Amino acid sequence: MRAGAATAARAHAAATSDRAAVFPGSSDLPAALTVGELLDRTAIDDLQILSGGSVDRGTTLVTRAHLRPTWTNGRLVLAVERAAGATLVPFETPNPTPCCADHV
């Protein structure tokens, strides 16, 4: 168990894995903002659309008050998916379905 914890601590310190629940700029985010505003106001370095494609800085991101980016190769990356009205939403939902919540 200690070896696993030590491995996780090293990965977190190196910013190569793990999620960030609190990060610079994460407090006081509005319910919706453009991708450009998010990148300018927070420590998030990039967004990744899970279905593929590029992210336009003018696209609206509906935050749902729940952003959990992950450390990927030293960068803070938020996984998003396309939503109605040409918007994006974070892939991770604030309240996962109970049947799946214990499998994460």
Residue 4 pLDDT grade (very low, low, confident, very high; cuts 50, 70, 90): very low
What is the Cα–Cα distance from 36 to 30, expressed in whole angstroms? 14
Looking at the chain, the whole-number percentage of residues with pLDDT higher than 90 is 62
pLDDT at site 93? 84
Q: Which of 48, 98, 40, 97 is nearest to 68 (CA)?
A: 48
Mean of all residue pLDDT scores within the chain: 85
What is the Cα–Cα distance from 46 to 41, expressed in whole angstroms? 12
Residue 103 pLDDT grade (very low, low, confident, very high; cuts 50, 70, 90): low
Q: Which of 80, 16, 84 is nearest to 50 (CA)?
A: 80
Q: What is the pLDDT of residues 5-55, one digit of tens each?
A: 445 555 556 656 588 989 999 998 999 999 999 999 999 999 999 999 999
pLDDT at site 43? 96
Q: Which of 77, 19, 81, 91 is nearest to 49 (CA)?
A: 81
Mean pLDDT of 43-69: 95
Adjacent-strand bridge partners of 60? 34
pTM check: above 0.85: no
Classify residue 29 by burial, with Cβ atoms within 10 Å: 0-12, 13-18, 19+: middle
